[in-house]
Structure 1
């Protein structure tokens, strides 16, 4: 199944190279395997099939910036 077919069937649009979050893990889309989107999770070498309904493009978790360290004078 192609990205176009996944878009038509699930109403979700993906492209190879998109950064995504799936089940709380960050990864990169590498392709499709009927009817799944293949994601290579950060720190892994092999991509795995994921349900298109569980993959969220550009939904990286927000990290609060830390306060600057006070300087001792």
Structure 2
């Protein structure tokens, strides 16, 4: 039998993933800068980080709505 996750459990798991991915991208951005690929690596990382901020905002709103 498969247990279904609640909306809150899904939102919390998604939020953890977002936080982990953001940390990986920060490391990628730092490594790109160290390797002299600043423009390409930093621009890509910045764009992805901006998207992740938007995703986190939506996740936060969903969590706020689900919290009694």
Q: TM-score, normalised by structure 1?
A: 0.20
TM-score by length of 2: 0.20
Q: Give the structure with the higher percent helix.
A: 2
Q: Which has the higher strand share?
A: 1
Higher-RCO chain (CA-CA 8 Å, sequence separation at least 6): 2
Rg (Cα) greater in structure: 1
